[in-house]
């Protein structure tokens, strides 16, 4: 990679960035922890996804990867493991998450293969050069104008390059219907109470990305929904991951759920006590995700952006 590989390039396009879905900068250490725990718990699924991308790129070497809304680098590091000759550019609006990512890159011994760029992907993009693989996991639904983001992604790709979009149906379910504390069905009620808020803040959450990809000029080569269903024995980090997700949910539910349910949630996210998710042996991880793999035409040379 170029000599400036280790440098943090501040290419922030405008001061009013809107990494929507975050409560604000004070929330970012917490988000970093949550994203890292998610990476650990869902590691095997991610490995499966990158394996399928390797099949789809078998005829075209992947040397330059662009991770959109990289967060703490879950996708970046999974891709660098899979594509051993590749370098990655991790882009995010959050300087703190990118700082965290650079620390992880050093720990993993791949700092010389990663460059971070702080940029608002809702604004005009910096020039990333020709990219072979663009990865956008859990990122597109944050964009205020995803059509525009997809056109930029198309323009950033080399002819024949691939875009992988991963979106999830929502945060995972962890708990059994009957918790042995509070009223049964707590998790379902919490999701229902938050769904309006999510729909308002992120209207593209749960979108069918196929038509949007086609509209931006891509050929959708594969679309595969997959269900994550982890049951005991669970990865070691599962309790902490559940606690991070439910704590975030608890904050968002203030004033939106009845006091009994809030009290039950408090009991679950408490670090002590028999009902704490850190100690329960009846947790599971259930969620659904969809991956879209879309190609920029081989013969296309012009930009669609
Ligand atoms: C749900 S997280 C996903 C992180 C990561 N891709 C992963 O799979 O773990 C969404 C990320 O998108 C970033 N983001 C949201 N809006 C953005 C924007 N307008 N420009 C750049 N990044 C943005 C957030 O800061 C956050 O890191």
SS (H, E, C) the chain: CCHHHHCEEECCCCCCCCCCCCCCHHHHHHHHHHHHHHHHHCHHHHHHHHHHHHHHCCCCCCCEEEEECCCCCHHHHHHHHHCCCCEEEEEECCHHHHHHHHHHHHHCCCHHHEEEEECCCCCCCCCCCCEEEEEEECCHHHCCCHHHHHHHHHHHEEEEEEEEEEEECCCCECCCCCCCCCCCCHHHHHHHHHHHHHHHHCCCCCCCHHHHHHHCCCEEEEEEEEEEEECCCCCCCHHHHHHHHHHHHHHHHCCCCCHHHHHHHHHHHCCCCCCCCCCCCCCCEEEEEEEEEEECCCCCCCCCC
Q: What are phi and psi of 241, to 5 degrees?
A: -65, -45
Taking the model in full, what pTM does it have?
A: 0.90
Kindly report the number of other CB atoms within 10 A of residue 227's CB atom.
Answer: 10
Nearest CA to ligand 1 atom 10: 139
Tell me how far apart the alpha carbons of residues 78 and 98 are, in angstroms, rounded to a whole number.
16
248 burial (CB, 10 Å; 0-12 / 13-18 / 19+) is middle
Ligand 1 closest atom vs CA 39: 9
Token code pair at residue 214: 């086609």
Domains of the chain: 3-170+205-231+288-295 (3.40.50.150), 172-202+233-281 (no CATH)
- pLDDT for the residue 197: 78
Token code pair at residue 165: 């979009």
Nearest CA to ligand 1 atom 13: 69
Ligand 1 closest atom vs CA 75: 8
Ligand 1 binding pocket (C-beta < 6 A) is: 18-20, 35, 69-71, 74-75, 92-94, 97, 120-122, 137-139, 142
Ligand 1 closest atom vs CA 71: 27
Token code pair at residue 152: 């930029």
- pLDDT for the residue 199: 75
- pLDDT for the residue 267: 96
User: Which stretches of the chain score pLDDT less than 50?
Assistant: 1-23
- pLDDT for the residue 24: 53
Distance 175 CA to ligand 1 centre (A): 26
- pLDDT for the residue 23: 44
Nearest CA to ligand 1 atom 12: 69
Distance 139 CA to ligand 1 centre (A): 5
Distance 257 CA to ligand 1 centre (A): 27
Using alpha carbons, list the distances in angstroms from residue 258 to 80, 113, 193: 45, 49, 10
Q: Which of 13, 36, 75, 93 for a ligand 1 pocket mutation test, highest count of atoms within 8 Å of Cβ? A: 93
196 burial (CB, 10 Å; 0-12 / 13-18 / 19+) is exposed
Whose CA is closest to 37, among 250, 238, 299? Answer: 238
Pairing mode, if any, of strands 285-295 and 219-230?
antiparallel
Tell me how far apart the alpha carbons of residues 166 and 156 are, in angstroms, rounded to a whole number.
18
Using alpha carbons, list the distances in angstroms from residue 2 to 92, 129, 145: 20, 12, 32
């Amino acid at each position: 990679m170029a000599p400036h590989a280790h440098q943090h390039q501040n290419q922030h396009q405008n001061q009013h960035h809107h990494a929507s879905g975050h409560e604000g900068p004070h929330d970012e250490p917490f988000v970093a922890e949550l994203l890292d725990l998610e990476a650990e718990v869902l590691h095997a699924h991610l490995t499966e996804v990158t394996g399928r991308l390797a099949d789809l790129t078998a005829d075209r070497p992947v040397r330059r990867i662009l991770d959109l809304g990289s967060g703490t680098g879950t996708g970046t590091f999974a891709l660098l493991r899979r594509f051993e000759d590749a370098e990655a550019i991790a882009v995010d609006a959050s300087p703190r998450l990118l700082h965290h990512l650079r620390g992880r890159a050093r720990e993993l011994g791949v700092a010389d293969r990663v460059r971070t760029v702080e940029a608002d992907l809702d604004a005009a993009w910096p020039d990333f050069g020709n990219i072979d693989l663009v990865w956008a996991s859990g990122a597109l639904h944050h964009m205020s104008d995803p059509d525009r983001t997809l056109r930029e992604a198309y323009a950033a790709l080399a002819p024949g390059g691939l875009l992988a979009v991963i979106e999830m149906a929502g945060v995972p379910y962890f708990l059994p219907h009957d918790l042995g504390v509070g009223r049964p069905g707590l998790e379902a009620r919490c999701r229902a109470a938050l769904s309006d808020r999510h729909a308002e803040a992120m209207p593209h959450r749960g979108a069918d990305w196929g038509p949007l990809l086609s509209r931006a000029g891509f050929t959708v080569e594969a679309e595969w929904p997959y269900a994550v269903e982890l049951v005991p024995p669970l990865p070691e980090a599962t309790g902490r991951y559940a606690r991070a997700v439910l704590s975030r949910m608890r904050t968002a539910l203030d004033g939106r759920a009845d006091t009994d349910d809030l009290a039950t949630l408090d009991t679950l996210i408490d670090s002590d006590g028999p009902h704490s998710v850190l100690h329960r042996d009846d947790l599971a991880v259930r969620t659904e995700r969809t991956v879209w793999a879309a190609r920029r035409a081989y013969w296309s040379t012009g930009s669609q952006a």
